[in-house]
Amino acid sequence: MSMPGLYVSPEQLMQDRADYARKGIARGRSLVTLEYDGGIALVAENASATLRKVSEIYDRIAFGGVGRYIEFDQLRIAGVRHAELKGYQYSRSDVEARSLANQYAQMLGQFFTHELKPLEVEIVVVEVGIGGEANQLYRIQYDGTVMDEEAYCCIGGDADAVRERVAEGYDPSLDASAAIRLASESLAGPERDITAADLEVALLDAIVPDASHRRRCFRRLDDTEVEVVLGDGAASTADGSAS
């Protein structure tokens, strides 16, 4: 006589998977993405000199992830391959953050629904607009849910509190340096201090590429540049006047 199998309702199974993914994400430090006057800043709390939470995907597209590093880095690599293949087959201008976000949503949704365990990650995909185009900010959750964000986006374990602090100080007219300082202060909160060594910072500059200028808009700031931005009001380094 066979023993009856254990039964778990679909609702409980999905709830357990969601709780598992959220716990993994909550262990990760937060990441802030916000628009400034002239581009998009991505600022993550990351003291590691080798593991990157913010990366370039394509000419005007960047990626940020929190949670389990090996899992969101695999997503980053898949995104780079998807973008390069589409740009090669069609045109570089056909590679968009919107379609990439949808690809990520399908991948995460597939893992969440069908695999033994969901991916313990939350990611953002952003594209800077040039020539009057609007910026695009997409937040993709562990279950494949895509949210079209405006102005700023926060992910990670303390995302809600960080988002509130960003909202209090945000202004669309912020320059790059002011945006980085706001993101840093929002990540730190009222009870902590964050130094340049604790941050990973990158910018997507809204420039019009031409034959005499670089095509890619992504620029990573080193610790020295970030220290200058956090230490005083000098905006020249972050705004790109320095090479």
Predicted pLDDT of residue 70: 95
**pTM (predicted TM-score):** 0.87
Give the burial string for 8-34 (b: 16+ CB within 10 Å, else e). eeeeeeeeebeeebbebbeebbbbbbb
Q: Smallest Cα–Cα separation from 32: which of 133, 230, 181?
A: 181
End-to-end CA distance of the chain: 76
Each as own residue / partner, the long-range contacts of residues 3-6 (CB below 8 Å, 24 or more positions apart, any chain) are none
d(CA 216, CA 44): 21
Per residue in 178-228, pLDDT (tens digit) is: 999 999 999 998 888 899 999 999 999 987 554 444 578 999 999 999 999
Q: Which residue has the tokens 């997503």?
A: 75
Task: Per residue of the chain (243 residues), give pLDDT as tens.
Answer: 454 556 778 888 899 999 999 999 998 899 999 999 999 999 999 988 889 999 999 999 999 999 999 999 999 999 999 999 999 999 888 999 999 999 999 999 999 999 889 999 999 999 999 878 899 999 999 999 999 999 999 999 889 999 999 999 999 999 999 999 999 999 998 888 899 999 999 999 987 554 444 578 999 999 999 999 998 544 444 454 433
Predicted pLDDT of residue 93: 86
Predicted pLDDT of residue 236: 42
Predicted pLDDT of residue 157: 84
Predicted pLDDT of residue 238: 47
